[in-house]
Amino acid sequence: MLEDRSTIYAKVAPERIADVNWIMEGYEHLALVSTIDHQEGIILLRGTPDTYNDVLEIVENMPFSVEILESFNEAL
Count up the domains in the chain and report the number: 1
On whether residue 20 sits in a domain, the answer given is: yes
Which residues constitute the domain of residue 58?
Answer: 7-69
Q: What is the pLDDT of residue 24?
A: 94
* Helix 17-26 / helix 52-60 crossing angle, nearest 10 deg: 130
Q: Would you say residue 1 lies in a domain?
A: no
Q: What is the mean pLDDT of the chain?
A: 90
| Mean predicted confidence (pLDDT) in 9-34 | 95
In a domain, 46, yes or no: yes
Residue 2 located in a structural domain: no
Look at residue 75 and tell me if it is in a domain.
no
HEC states along the chain? CCCCCCEEEEECCHHHHHHHHHHHHHCCCCCEEEEEECCCCEEEEECCCCCHHHHHHHHHCCCCCCEEECCCCCCC
Global pTM value: 0.86
pLDDT band at 5 (very low <50, low <70, confident <90, very high): confident
Q: What is the CATH number of the domain that holds 47?
A: 3.30.70
| Residue 76 in domain | no
Query: Does residue 56 lie within any of the structural domains?
Result: yes
